[in-house]
Structure 1
Amino acid sequence: MKRSTAGCSVLTSVAVGALLVGCSASPDGEKSEPKMSADKVSSLVAQKLASTTGKPKPDISCPKDLVGKVGTTMRCELTASDGSTLGVTVTVTSVDGDRINFDFEADPKASPAR
């Protein structure tokens, strides 16, 4: 059975073209332990993927705020228009005051629509 969808194309582009990319932003919240809201992380990852792949911003969701501690990881999820999903791992690479810098890496293979 042959299946070709725009969603799979986006996921393939993300998996191949943007496996490891860096982002940074100032977090929302307290200065003692900086955090970046889940919505902000989702938005930054989506923006970077769109600029890297030349495709529209994908739907990215992250489950919680990102704690500004080097080495902290969080799993987010990219959902394509066909319902298939791709995991994205976000890793804090450095913290400078209240600025959290992170890289993210997309999983090599998408999961089928649920």
Structure 2
Amino acid sequence: MIKRSLSAASWGLSATAAGVLLVGCSGSVSLGTSTPEVSKDKLADTVAERLAATTGQAKPDITCPEALEGKADATTRCALTATDGSTLGVTVTVSAVDGDNVDFGIKADDTPTPAS
């Protein structure tokens, strides 16, 4: 089960080629394991769903290179790839862990990296 909530602090980024506006947000994933961890695929999917729901845009292409450890303040970096090939870094930070439930915040960088 995935629970999401919009954080109080919000930020914006206009990616001209992608035409998207991203907003700071948070998410939560409930896992059925003894060691809380959000797999890289589940994390990427949750981040993409939350950004799409927040912006009203299509679900972006998000990739996360590693799982997110279920420890308070643990972080990982994911990447949003726009249709023109430019990328935007996204930091995911664990805000709380309650049993198997991992709550995390999502914040994108202010500036995209142009396509190669």
TM-score higher than 0.5: yes
For 2:43, what is the secondary structure of its paired residue?
Answer: helix
Return the offset for 1:77: 0.2
Could you tell me which runs of 5 or more consecutive residues in structure 2 were left unpaired when the two chains were aligned.
Answer: 1-15
The root-mean-square deviation of aligned C-alpha atoms, in Å, is 1.1
Return the offset for 1:48: 0.6
Q: Which residue of 2 aligns with 1:79?
A: 81
For 2:58, what is the secondary structure of its paired residue?
Answer: coil
- Confirm or deny: 8 A CA contact 1:27 1:37 kept in the other structure: no
Q: Does 1:111 align with 2:110?
A: no
Deviations 1:55-81 (A, max 9, x none): 000000001111000000100000001
More strand by share: 2
Could you tell me which runs of 5 or more consecutive residues in structure 1 were left unpaired when the two chains were aligned.
Answer: none
Q: Which residue of 2 aligns with 1:24?
A: 28
What stretches of structure 1 move > 6 A for 4+ residues in a row? Answer: none
Return the offset for 1:26: 1.4
Q: Which residue of 2 aligns with 1:62?
A: 64
37, 40, 47: which one pairs with 2:49? 47
Q: If you compute each CA radius of gyration, which structure gives the higher value, 1 or 2? A: 1
Query: How far apart are the structure 1 equivalents of 2:69 and 2:31?
Result: 9
- The two structures have a TM-score, normalised by structure 1, of 0.84
Q: How many residues in Structure 1 have an aligned counterpart in Structure 2?
A: 101
Return the offset for 1:27: 2.9
Q: Which residue of 2 aligns with 1:88?
A: 90
Query: How far apart are the structure 2 equivalents of 1:86 and 1:34?
Result: 27
The code of the aligned residue for 2:74 comes to T
